[in-house]
Amino acid sequence: MPTETAPLLSVMPSVSSETQPSVLSVSVTDHRYHPLQQTLAPCALELKKGEVVSIIGPSGCGKSTFLRIAAGLIEASAGTVTSIADRTAILFQEHRLLSWKSLLNNISFGLQGQKLSKLERMTKARTVATAMGFAEEDLIKYPSELSGGMRQRGALARAMAIEPDLLFLDEPFSALDIGRRRDLYRLVLHEVDQKQCSVLMVTHDVTEALALSDRVLIMAPDPGHFSKEYEVPLMRSERTRRNLMDLEASLLADDRIAHLFNMRNWERLV
Amino acid sequence: MAGVCLIFALWQIGFETFGPLVLPAPLDALERLAHIVAVPSGLDYILITARRAFAGFLLASTVGIFFGLIAGWSNTLSLLCKPFITVALGVPPIAWIVLALLWFGGGDGTPVFTVFISTIPLIFAGALQGVRMREKELDEMAQSFHVPLLQRFWQVQAPQIVSYLFPAWATALGLSWKVVVMAELLSSTRGIGAGLAEARVNIDTAATMAWIVVIVGLLLVIEGILLNPVKDYVEGWKHAD
């Protein structure tokens, strides 16, 4: 285990106050893909401005479905979604870059949903790409010529180019190594601090959820419902690997949650 | 180029083994070819055939792609179209020629129709498959950015459709070239097919081979100047490394 005690992520914590109106409020009362099989039981969520909320749960528990409903990609069988966000972006588990477009054209692709001239789109895409740490020669490359980490960073740049005030993350970091992952965490959190962007994230990585979020919702399957809500007690700037381990331990100390993740006696590796 | 030389070498061996009645000397055939191209009527035959092949092929492309796209977007229609494609692919071109002769007589109509009817199922199926096999995830991505429908079609869906359509389209182009000659052989008094029919009547193997050289040569030219550049353009990103 790393013994590093420096802050895991050197960013300022967000200021979330209870009085602010919700940027997003989701209330699903029922959702099913198949008439006889309920995917989601009633579950509700309020997301404040500048807040980062994670949904964690075992694979197949319905968390991605909930995110897709919240993002407006699909409609719940019964329920409502209200959002006051002007611009919404989604980062998917796969990068979903268009393989026939260069990186720069991929980054500017999402801007077509706004009323901008081609020149404005290109300028904006270039600015964002530079801010995301892409070199000039990367911009003309096709996705097939980029590494996995760069592709996902390109997808993040495409999402950030539209300057979202609401960002959905559907396990976008799960295929990356720890270093690339940390780069992307920084980039996302920077956006959260700068623009007070709200984030709803789905992940199956408990540590990731604890590192990034203000609040963690735990979803249990059959049918999907929130079984627990956990406010992360530390400010983001105070979180370190060491105290995150303690947080994780306290979270998994709850027998129901340990059971959910098959993590009874979790101190043992196997 | 080496392949072409090898074919001519084998041809020469064939000629030396079986004699000129079975296979004429390559040089004789080439001489005949020069003769065909030199006279206006010979050149005319080639142009007439090319015009018919392209007319049928372009017609099939337009209609096939248009309906293929429509059918691809509708589950019901694509299921409904399956038996039609099977039937259309199953009917041999020669049978269509017989029908076309009855319908259109000996003019341009028969070869153009035969080319049209024998290539359209390929193109239609290519477009249909392209629409159906596209990645829905990318549509979802474009939708999440509220990209307008027209841009979504051209930038997200069309490139995927083309990568399915293109091989079918290339096959159809080759097929149209063969079918047009066959249709002309049986129905026309002008065109490459008619030239072949003449050569057959005169048992003139040199002329027959000359016409074959014309057909194959033109197909190679079309591939080189039309198909390959288009292919490089639409599939450039695939070989980007």
Contacting residues of B for A89, CB less than 8 Å apart: 144-145
At residue A45, does pLDDT exceed 70? yes
Q: What CA–CA distance (Å, rounded) separates A81 from A71?
A: 9
Which of B101, B91, B99 shows the shortest CA–CA distance to B185?
A: B101
Question: For strand A166-170 and strand A198-203, is the pairing parallel, antiparallel, or unpaired?
Answer: parallel
Does residue A266 register a pLDDT over 70?
A: no
Q: What pLDDT sits at residue A18?
A: 52
Say whether B144 and A112 touch across the interface (CB within 8 A).
Answer: no
Look at residue A168 in the predicted model and tell me its pLDDT: 94
Residue B3, number of CB atoms within 10 A of its CB: 7
User: A189-246, pLDDT tens digit by residue?
Assistant: 988 888 889 999 999 888 888 888 999 998 888 888 888 888 888 888 888 888 888 8
Distance in Å, alpha carbon of B134 to nearest chain A alpha carbon: 12
Chain A residues inside the 8 Å CB shell of B147:
109-110, 112-113
**ipTM surpasses cut 0.85:** no
Question: Count of A–B CB contacts within 8 Å?
Answer: 52
What's the confidence (pLDDT) of residue B124? Answer: 93
Question: A9-43 pLDDT, tens per residue?
Answer: 444 444 444 556 788 888 888 888 888 888 888 88
Residues of A in contact with B145 (CB under 8 A): 89, 109-113, 158, 162
Length of chain A: 270
Mean pLDDT of chain A: 84
Identify the structural domains of chain B with CATH numbers, from first to last.
39-194 (1.10.3720.10)
Does A164 touch chain B if contact means CB atoms closer than 8 Å? no
**C-beta atoms of B147 and A112 within 8 A:** yes
**How close, in Å, is residue B109 to chain A by CA atoms?**
41
19-78 in chain A: CB under 8 A from chain B = 71, 73
Å from A142 to nearest chain B CA? 7
Q: At CA B23, angle to CA B17 and CA B28, rounded to 5?
A: 110
pLDDT in tens, A246-264: 888 888 777 777 777 776 7
**Using the beta-carbon criterion (under 8 Å), do B240 and A142 form an inter-chain contact?**
yes
Please spell the DSSP secondary structure of A206-217, one letter per residue.
Answer: HHHHHHH-SEEE
Phi, psi values for residue B75, rounded to 5°? -60, -45
Nearest CA in chain A to B148: A113
Residue given tokens 């995150």 in the structure block: A244
Decide if pLDDT at A51 tops 70.
Answer: yes
- Inter-chain contact B240–A112, Cβ cutoff 8 Å? no
A162 touches chain B (CB under 8 A): yes
| B138–A113 C-beta distance less than 8 A | no
Of A90, A98, A158, the CB nearest to B156: A98
Compute the distance between CA of residue A129 and CA of residue B127 in angstroms, rounded to an integer. Answer: 36
The sign of the torsion formed by the CA atoms of A178, A181, A182, A185 equals negative
Backbone angles phi, psi at A31, to 5 degrees: -145, 135
- Does A73 contact B140 at a Cβ distance shorter than 8 Å? yes
- B contact set with A (CB within 8 A): 137-138, 140-148, 151, 155-156, 159, 237-238, 240-241
pLDDT score, position A124? 92
**Residue ranges in chain B modelled with pLDDT below 70:** 236-241
Residues A134-186 have pLDDT tens digits of 999 999 999 988 888 899 999 999 999 999 999 999 988 888 888 888 888 88
Q: Provide the token pair at B109.
A: 């109509």
Question: What are chain A's domains?
Answer: 22-87+164-260 (3.40.50.300), 99-163 (no CATH)
